[in-house]
Chains A and B, each alone.
Chain A
Amino acid sequence: MKLELGKIKIDDIQFSEKTYVENHVLYVNKEEVEKLVLEDDKLVSCKLDIAKPGESTRITPVKDVIEPRVKVSGGEIFPGVTGKVSPAVGEGRTHALEGCCVVTVGRIVGFQEGVIDMSGVAADYCPFSKTVNLCVVIEPQEGLETHVYERAGRLAGLKVAAYLGETARNLEPDVLEVYETKPLFEQAAMYPDLPKVGYIHMLQSQGLLHDTYYYGVDAKQIVPTFMYPTEIMDGAIISGNCVAPCDKVTTFHHLHNPVIEDCYKHHGKDINFMGVILTNENVFLADKERHSDMVAKLAEYMGLDGVLITEEGYGNPDTDLMMNCKKVERKGVKVVLITDEFPGKDGKSQSLADVCEEATALASCGQGNMTLQFPVMKKIIGTMDYIEDQIGGWAGCVNPDGSFEAEIQIIIASTIANGYNCLAARGY
């Protein structure tokens, strides 16, 4: 399967009469976007705003972040969710508006929606402090049931991203990247001297507000399977969850999965990248047992020599991570884990809720309990009303002027456990 990914660099977003891209600027017709969002009668209001790097702007509570993309060779983006499912997912040609994002913002559903600061000290920890963001601020109907609200918020962002992606359909990309993974036997034969490496991708699937969707299927209902890495670049996986903000694998991060991107960089040089094993992190022990067994079986079946494993979230998913690690290693496949740490504010407690002796190689994505002083921002997109309840905050952490102290877990994707950031932790 071969995908051409054309990237159009976007440096700025401006509101305009018409929605189009010119000279690296995305022009957006506000009314059209608002109308599109309000097609869903669960939402009673939608306001758009733009946040740019370096501005004194805070966005919160953030639900999801999405990069606009479009399938230009047939098929649709976000298959099974806003787009049709078709065989074209992961192959042909896709265009992406790189450097800009759609950010959905609104009253919290759970505690798990975080903060993006566009400047100041917290900006160093957040990937979306460096992108130009179109913020879609939504307001649900009064008394809307939480699942329904979550779904409405999730779809609003995806629809806007798909709508903006359309502007890229006929553009000439600044960069054209080509990714290809062949059917298993062919791929194995292509680089017979290189170690065959796979990626075990654990999807957050813990229930209400903790769900990820695979072709529109709720990830808690899947059994482990394998897939071509390029399918993910076309939106085969989208985020519907509200895991701790720092850990949130946003839809942006699925499109830009760093393990997949970097495995392709090494592909044919020092590894033979064979593909992705997809699994989940369910709340029942029987599921954890069954799925880690299946993951190990698939790794063996694919003839892998080594795997990278990432998780989303912390706490009980650490058990899935360790069960996968242990069982895959016992099949004779070498494992490296990628995850973040929660050793307490003083950094002295255990970093992970579960461990196993086979976990000899682990790349840290930093620890989420470290605290920061968040400065006053001139502009708030969304509301500061929930900071004290959001994960990473605490009662009394907000000062009267709007500055606050919180753990970096409150920052969207600050310690994201798939290795997207340079943040890491080490022993002192």
Chain B
Amino acid sequence: MVKGIEKYGIPVVHMATVVPISLTIGANRIIPGVGIPYPLGDPTQGEVDSKKIRRRMVKRALKALQTPVAEQTVFEKDDF
């Protein structure tokens, strides 16, 4: 799906837990998800913190979408 969309020239940030699969299928901007049952957030830490985690991740996704990449890149840090 990532490639199908990106080939139209629209940048896609893939937020996925299993980064190796994301790399294999050819996503170019990747943000590691927290876990398969809850990729964006961590409900085991309570709703409030879970949402904070999600917010940080989505902000990182927006940042990744504004970052030029030459090859497949995993954005692991919140450097904004």
Contact: B21 with A283, CB < 8 Å?
no
Contact: B17 with A355, CB < 8 Å?
no
Contact: A283 with B20, CB < 8 Å?
no
What residues on B are CB-neighbors of A208 within 8 Å? 37
State A318–B25 Cα separation when bound (angstroms): 13
Contact: B37 with A285, CB < 8 Å?
no
A368 CB to nearest B CB, Å: 18
A20 CB to nearest B CB, Å: 46
CB < 8 Å: which of B17, B20, B32 contacts A323? B20
What residues on A are CB-neighbors of B36 within 8 Å? 206-207, 283-284, 316
How many residues of A sit at the interface, in one of the four size bands? 10 to 19
Is residue A322 contacting chain B, with contact meaning CB distance below 8 A? yes
State A208–B20 Cα separation when bound (angstroms): 23
Contact: A283 with B37, CB < 8 Å?
yes
What residues on A are CB-neighbors of B21 within 8 Å? 316, 318-319, 353-354
Which single residue of chain A is at the shortest CB-CB distance from B17?
Answer: A285
Residues 1-37 of B, flagged 1 when their CB comes within 8 A of A and 0 if not, give 0000000000000000111110010000000101111
What residues on B are CB-neighbors of A355 within 8 Å? 24
What residues on A are CB-neighbors of B35 within 8 Å? 283-284
Number of contacting residues on B, CB 8 A?
11
What residues on A are CB-neighbors of B18 within 8 Å? 285, 288, 316, 319, 354
Which single residue of chain A is at the shortest CB-CB distance from B33?
Answer: A285
Within 317-373 of A, Cβ neighbours of B (below 8 Å) are at 318-319, 322-323, 353-355
The answer to whether residues A354 and B24 also contact, given A285-B32, A316-B17, A319-B18 and a CB cut-off of 8 A, is yes
B30 CB to nearest A CB, Å: 11
State A208–B32 Cα separation when bound (angstroms): 22
A324 CB to nearest B CB, Å: 12
Contact: A319 with B20, CB < 8 Å?
yes
What residues on B are CB-neighbors of A207 within 8 Å? 36-37
State A316–B17 Cα separation when bound (angstroms): 9
What residues on B are CB-neighbors of A283 within 8 Å? 17, 35-37
Which single residue of chain A is at the shortest CB-CB distance from B20?
Answer: A319
Residues 286-321 of A, flagged 1 when their CB comes within 8 A of B and 0 if not, give 001000000000000000000000000000101100
State A206–B19 Cα separation when bound (angstroms): 17
State A288–B19 Cα separation when bound (angstroms): 11
Residues 24-60 of B, flagged 1 when their CB comes within 8 A of A and 0 if not, give 1000000010111100000000000000000000000
What residues on B are CB-neighbors of A318 within 8 Å? 21
State A284–B17 Cα separation when bound (angstroms): 7
State A26–B64 Cα separation when bound (angstroms): 65
Contact: B24 with A285, CB < 8 Å?
no
With A283-B35, A319-B18 known, 11 other A-B pairs at CB within 8 A are A206-B36, A207-B36, A207-B37, A284-B17, A316-B17, A316-B36, A319-B21, A322-B20, A353-B21, A354-B20, A354-B24
Closest 9 CB pairs of A and B: A283-B36, A316-B18, A319-B20, A284-B35, A354-B21, A354-B24, A319-B18, A283-B35, A353-B21
A sample of 5 inter-chain contacts (CB < 8 A) reads A319-B18, A319-B21, A323-B20, A353-B24, A354-B20
